[in-house]
Structure 1
Amino acid sequence: MDIATRVYNHRWKLDPIVRSLIDTDFYKLLMCQSVFTNHPDTQVTFSLINRASHIPLAALIDEGELREQLDHIRGLSLSRGESTFLRGNTFYGKRQMFRPDFMEWFETFRLPPYHLERVGDQYELTFEGNWAEAMLWEIPALAVLMELRSRAVLGRMKRFELQVLYARAMTRLWEKIKQLQGIDGLRIADFGTRRRHSFLWQDWCVQAMIEGLGDKFAGTSNCLIAMRREVEAIGTNAHELPMVYAALADTDEALAQAPYQVLADWQSEHSGNLRIILPDTYGTEGFLARAPDWLSDWTGIRIDSGDPATGAETAIRWWQSRGQDPRNKLVIFSDGLDVEKIAELHARFSGRVKVSFGWGTLLTNDFRGFAPDDGLAPFSLVCKAQSANGRPTVKLSDNPHKAMGPEDQIARYKHVFSVGKQSAQPVIV
């Protein structure tokens, strides 16, 4: 595929960025089914958060075009082929991962309305409604904003400039893949949907990983690409679940138990490699110190904030303290990874634990240095649950730069979860 020519032609007519409801991360569908079952009446508000406030999204992206793209997504529904894929495929060794009642609902699903407002040089974009419905806006909304920002920069470039740009980006990625080829026992997946350069580019990256890494490539988080390229759909759960469960807690005691209730509900539905703990929502060390014994039997842990080596060492000590052999446990690294960090972490922990990597933005959006004023460099854009049934949500993270929520509630959560001094890390993406 000549991506440069496709990009050049984007300027002539509306080219939908999101063309399928399953152009989303696999974990969103797994979590959606859990929410559909366990919290069918919870009302949640999601909001866009641009952590890189120096990037003026509203000055770069035309509001009319943004609305066209969002309106297009609201008209999407599951196709027959997509339904067959979700109903009949084997995920994580399990057939019928998605229950019939959930699939019947999803097959008639349409995304709910959105609220968009320009405030200065930024957009306020929010989604409100039933949790199972509103949550499915997160990934497509982020994909639209990231790609429209890319198109705004690329639209000022001529045909041969685009050809050279994509040739350089392809070369950069292939050089990264060549470095990864030399890592024995590597297991790596694409986690790059939410902040990708574009759908076409993510699809190209996955194809490059398939060819270049073979069995080292575990699959992709993107359901549509997994279906089209016949690779594994990868993903478990995310911070959204404990954030909303915690917001619904009526007392400090219930708040302290909320993260474990999330995993109790998850355990009742999933087994094997889907039993992965994400411990950092309210601080990894405190979470593990208070964790019930049954959690130590789970398959592994995902490290998604703070210093990744510190997080893995903490997990190893915790497993040892609970009588578990860390060599039988899986550690998934997924925060701000690039080739050098992947190689470093693999060398340090291979043989001590089972190591895997979810490679995100710097796989699917590494155009650093390729445009004037570095206008295509990736940046941190998120869409998070802000409230549940009218109560604010809070995230503390192992990196205070990723914390979110009202200041008084952040202080309360730090007290309840005994979060001490934290080490700030740069938020790369």
Structure 2
Amino acid sequence: MVDIATRVWNHKWKIDPIVRSLIDTDFYKLLMCQSVFRNKPNTTVTFSLINRSQDVRLAELIDEGELREQLDHIRSLSLSRGESTWLRGNTFYGKRQMFRPDFMEWFEALRLPDYHLEKKNGQYELTFEGSWPEVMLWEIPALAVLMELRGRAVLKHMGRFELQVLYARAMTKLWGKIERLRELDDLRIADFGTRRRHSYLWQDWAVQAMIEGLGDRFLGTSNCRIAMQREVEAIGTNAHELPMVYSALAQSDAELRQAPYDVLADWHEEHEGNLRIILPDTYGSDGFLQGAPDWLAGWTGIRIDSGDPATGAEAAIQWWKDRGEDPTKKLVIFSDGLDVDKIEELHRQFVGRVRTSFGWGTLLTNDFKGLAPNDGLAPFSLVCKAVEADGRPTVKLSDNPNKAMGPSNEIERYKRVFGVGTQKALEVEV
């Protein structure tokens, strides 16, 4: 097992670039990328960094030269032969050859496009513009770089023994969580923590701890490289990016109202089984479910990623019942801001009523709160989102208005089109 503290102490080693591979990314990005490559390859999209935690002043913590060095390194990466073989030949979600030959040929030749970086008011403005299939693959590595450089900025002031103690405490903290999760019968849980991880080495350690501590209750990891190296399942389906861009391309209110369902119609053609998971909250879950075509009720399940998770699950159960479906055979994936207390609560509330699963993110791979001086390693909320498509702004409403994004006039238009009324604001921690 890697001595993480020693590697951190020597974090300038060239052996430790933050992003080591184009598949050091989340599995859902590759699935979505293939869908975009097939359905919207010529769409021009702009992605932008958004720091929701404005008190974390990244441009004052992270050296610009070091950030550019890491980003430039990512642009030099390409698929290795072993990575290509794994993607082409491995079985994902019970399906061989998940990735089509034409997509793989494109991916094998890919180098990520250029970026634009500048400082403004203590924050970094980092944007990526280009063809959608290319620029979308910047999201996860860009976030991983910024999260880890922030951590390195804090850790560089600590001595070697301080680092040993810090990581020992972090390991003990995480193992204590795993021991609590062992008590939950029929638990199904996966690592969803790539985007806001403390570091690659820490995410890899966390996955190994979950493998040993939870056995077959641990379903796998969203991180493709770790899944390949640790021989566990690569986990992931789709994300808000698809309906956000499809909706921005809509030419009328009627097309806008239909866009989220068009996304899933395209997905339906490509995937089956446990990849048919609805993500309903982009423009409000209630309105989405009320207007959903009947064929969507036959999908495998729903992922709940904003708002009150119990309320969302109850709404999904009722929606299935109203359409003659048996909720006990449906899958509800909880994935928003989870930690052990919430996992325990939701598991006990819904066990036996639906099949539950948990995508455990930031508080699995980046819970160093209270362990560093001045709480300098506490997790914070950083995202990289599609903000424009073919010159038109994107919008996300969410079931939590504190997660909404887009120009204010467009947000109001989307609320009108999708019939979104008053929403309860919840604190966004991670």
The corresponding residue for 2:415 is: 414
Q: Is the partner of 1:125 in helix, strand or coil? A: strand
- 1:86-101 equivalences under 5 Å are 86-101=87-102
Q: Is the partner of 1:281 in helix, strand or coil? A: helix
The corresponding residue for 1:21 is: 22
1:12 to partner: Cα distance: 5.9
The corresponding residue for 1:161 is: 162
What are the ranges of 5 or more consecutive residues in structure 1 without an aligned counterpart?
Answer: none
1:428 to partner: Cα distance: 1.5
CA distance, structure 1, for counterparts of residue 317 and residue 19 of structure 2 = 40
The corresponding residue for 1:33 is: 34
What are the ranges of 5 or more consecutive residues in structure 2 without an aligned counterpart?
Answer: none
Structure 1 counterpart of 2:142, which letter? Answer: A
- 1:77-116 equivalences under 5 Å are 77-116=78-117
CA distance, structure 2, for counterparts of residue 283 and residue 331 of structure 1 = 17
> Residues 219 and 226 of structure 1 are in contact (CA less than 8 Å); yes or no, is this contact kept in structure 2?
yes
Runs of 4+ in structure 1 off by over 2 angstroms are: 11-15
Q: Is the partner of 2:378 in helix, strand or coil? A: coil
1:15 to partner: Cα distance: 3.3
The corresponding residue for 2:226 is: 225
CA distance, structure 1, for counterparts of residue 43 and residue 381 of structure 2 = 28
The corresponding residue for 1:331 is: 332
Percent sequence identity is 79
CA distance, structure 2, for counterparts of residue 399 and residue 218 of structure 1 = 28
Structure 1 counterpart of 2:253, which letter? Answer: D
Q: What whole-Å deviation, never above 9, does each CA across 1:104-157 have from its counterpart, x for those lacking one?
A: 000010000000001121000000000000000000000000000000000000
The corresponding residue for 2:290 is: 289
Q: What whole-Å deviation, never above 9, does each CA across 1:87-120 have from its counterpart, x for those lacking one?
A: 0000000000000000000001000000000112
- 1:117-156 equivalences under 5 Å are 117-156=118-157
**TM-score, normalised on structure 1?**
0.99
Q: What whole-Å deviation, never above 9, does each CA across 1:218-252 have from its counterpart, x for those lacking one?
A: 00000000000000000000000000000000000
The corresponding residue for 1:207 is: 208
Structure 2 counterpart of 1:395, which letter? Answer: K
Q: Do structure 1's residue 241 and structure 2's residue 242 form an aligned pair?
A: yes
CA distance, structure 1, for counterparts of residue 333 and residue 24 of structure 2 = 23
The corresponding residue for 2:73 is: 72
Q: Is the partner of 1:313 in helix, strand or coil? A: helix
- 1:347-386 equivalences under 5 Å are 347-386=348-387
The corresponding residue for 1:280 is: 281
CA distance, structure 2, for counterparts of residue 64 and residue 334 of structure 1 = 34
Matched pairs, number? 429
CA distance, structure 1, for counterparts of residue 14 and residue 363 of structure 2 = 29
Q: Is the partner of 1:301 in helix, strand or coil? A: strand
The corresponding residue for 1:263 is: 264
Q: Do structure 1's residue 2 and structure 2's residue 3 form an aligned pair?
A: yes
Structure 1 counterpart of 2:246, which letter? Answer: Y
CA distance, structure 2, for counterparts of residue 164 and residue 274 of structure 1 = 41
Q: What whole-Å deviation, never above 9, does each CA across 1:33-83 have from its counterpart, x for those lacking one?
A: 000000010000000000000101000000000000000000000000000
Segment drifting more, 2-11 vs 183-192: 2-11
Q: Is the partner of 2:281 in helix, strand or coil? A: coil
Q: What whole-Å deviation, never above 9, does each CA across 1:271-312 have from its counterpart, x for those lacking one?
A: 000000000000000000000000000000000000000000
CA distance, structure 1, for counterparts of residue 3 and residue 105 of structure 2 = 38
1:372 to partner: Cα distance: 1.2
> Residues 11 and 155 of structure 1 are in contact (CA less than 8 Å); yes or no, is this contact kept in structure 2?
no
